[in-house]
């Protein structure tokens, strides 16, 4: 069977992303209204509603649609995923971690609210995300919701975000870090949540085992490519263009793809991963058009 991995020319990714982003932003607002303690809610909302590409929730909705269901049923989970992601950004920027001072186009959470509130805002976003899924997921068998909770719990914990961060911190300043270690770090730190995003949507939409396996492979490749691109842009881009601090990796003596493989080889690896990821999902035809186009746009960001 031949597969077309070129994006459908009649599909406008920019418009699709804008519409999805607006829907997610509006729903996030309703899922995190201002309450008491006000300072805590303000800190949570400050980072959550600061913009961001909303890539993970968009992937979740797209995963649901590939499975043939309405994106709407995955909306609470999509918003919960953005909360988990935002938690990880707040904690990642803390002085004891990456010590970032600029994120999503504004000063980082701890710069605005202090370290204690930033830690608690992150913790609260994480806990709130699971409450949200449990309370607001509707029109779906409970078994699927439970599977989503397991998927996201795994992605946030020692096998995912937290474990990846520990390994990343341990690699700082070490010159002998190889590609395998780097891949392990990023599979957990970046890949796990991207994978869980696509999978959660697919689970809610009722995907069968072969479809889930394909979507997993797609997301794993996308996740790795995403991190490679992130590492490259940390070297080649600017704070103005990215809306976050750049050059942090080099100053912290971090193992990154450009440092381990060089810029050209890092680019090549990202391109191979993206082409394979697009092939993984192209078999699903029109329903996978957004996933194919999204993967392609990652490479565009390097041009």
The residue ranges that bind ligand GRG (CB under 6 A) are 52-53, 55, 85, 88-89, 91-92, 97, 104, 156, 161-162, 165, 189-190, 227, 230
Hunting for tokens 């370290």 — which residue is that? 115
In angstroms, what is the minimal distance from the CB of 189 to ligand GRG?
Answer: 5
Helix (H, G, I), strand (E, B) or coil at 102: strand
CB 187 within 8 A of CB 220: yes
Tokens representing residue 110 in the block = 């701890």
Q: Which residue, 189 or 267, has its beta carbon nearer to ligand GRG?
A: 189
Say how far apart CA 226 and CA 287 lie, in whole Å. 22
Contacts of 280 (CB under 8 A, 6+ apart): 214, 215, 217, 218, 221
Q: Which residue, 3 or 269, has its beta carbon nearer to ligand GRG?
A: 269
In angstroms, what is the minimal distance from the CB of 222 to ligand GRG?
Answer: 12
In angstroms, what is the minimal distance from the CB of 81 to ligand GRG?
Answer: 11
Q: Which residue, 91 or 221, has its beta carbon nearer to ligand GRG?
A: 91
In angstroms, what is the minimal distance from the CB of 261 to ligand GRG?
Answer: 17
Q: Which residue is nearest to ligand GRG (CB)?
A: 52
In angstroms, what is the minimal distance from the CB of 206 to ligand GRG?
Answer: 27
In angstroms, what is the minimal distance from the CB of 118 to ligand GRG?
Answer: 11
In angstroms, what is the minimal distance from the CB of 174 to ligand GRG?
Answer: 18
Q: Which of 249, 267, 129 is nearest to 177 (CA)?
A: 249
Q: Which residue, 91 or 110, has its beta carbon nearer to ligand GRG?
A: 91
Q: Which residue, 97 or 147, has its beta carbon nearer to ligand GRG?
A: 97
In angstroms, what is the minimal distance from the CB of 156 to ligand GRG?
Answer: 5
Q: Which residue, 69 or 177, has its beta carbon nearer to ligand GRG?
A: 177
Distance from first CA to last CA of the chain, Å, rounded?
31
Say how far apart CA 286 and CA 195 lie, in whole Å. 21
Contacts of 113 (CB under 8 A, 6+ apart): 39, 42, 43, 46, 121
Q: Which residue, 55 or 73, has its beta carbon nearer to ligand GRG?
A: 55
Q: Which residue, 74 or 193, has its beta carbon nearer to ligand GRG?
A: 193
Say how far apart CA 186 and CA 111 lie, in whole Å. 26
Backbone angles phi, psi at 27, to 5 degrees: -75, -35
Q: Which of 73, 294, 78 is nearest to 205 (CA)?
A: 73
Tokens representing residue 285 in the block = 């035809």
Radius of gyration over alpha carbons of the chain, in Å?
A: 18
């Amino acid at each position: 069977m031949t597969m077309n991995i070129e994006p459908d020319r009649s599909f406008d990714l920019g418009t699709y992303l804008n519409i999805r982003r607006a829907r997610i932003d509006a729903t996030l607002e309703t899922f995190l209204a201002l309450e008491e303690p006000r300072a805590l809610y303000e800190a949570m909302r400050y980072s959550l509603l600061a913009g961001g590409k909303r890539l993970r929730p968009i992937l979740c909705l797209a995963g649901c649609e590939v499975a043939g269901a309405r994106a709407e049923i995955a909306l609470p989970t999509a918003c919960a995923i953005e909360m988990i992601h935002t938690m990880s950004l707040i904690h990642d920027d803390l002085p004891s971690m990456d010590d970032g001072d600029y994120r999503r186009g504004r000063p980082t959470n701890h710069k605005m609210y202090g370290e204690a509130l930033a830690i608690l805002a992150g913790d609260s976003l994480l806990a709130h995300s699971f409450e949200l899924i449990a309370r607001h997921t509707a029109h779906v068998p409970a078994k699927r919701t439970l599977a989503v909770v397991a998927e996201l719990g795994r992605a946030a914990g020692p096998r995912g975000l937290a474990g990846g961060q520990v390994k990343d911190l341990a690699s700082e300043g070490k010159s002998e870090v190889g590609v395998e270690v780097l891949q392990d770090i990023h599979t957990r730190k970046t890949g796990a949540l991207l994978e869980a995003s696509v999978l959660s949507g697919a689970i809610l939409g009722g995907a069968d085992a072969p479809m889930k396996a394909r979507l997993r492979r797609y997301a794993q490749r996308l996740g790795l490519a995403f991190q490679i691109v992130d590492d490259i842009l940390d070297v080649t881009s600017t704070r103005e263009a990215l809306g976050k601090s750049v050059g942090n990796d080099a100053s912290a003596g971090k193992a990154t793809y450009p440092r381990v493989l060089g810029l050209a080889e890092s680019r090549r690896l990202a391109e191979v991963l993206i082409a394979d990821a697009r092939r993984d999902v192209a078999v699903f035809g029109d329903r996978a058009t957004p996933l194919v186009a999204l993967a392609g746009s990652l490479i565009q960001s390097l041009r």
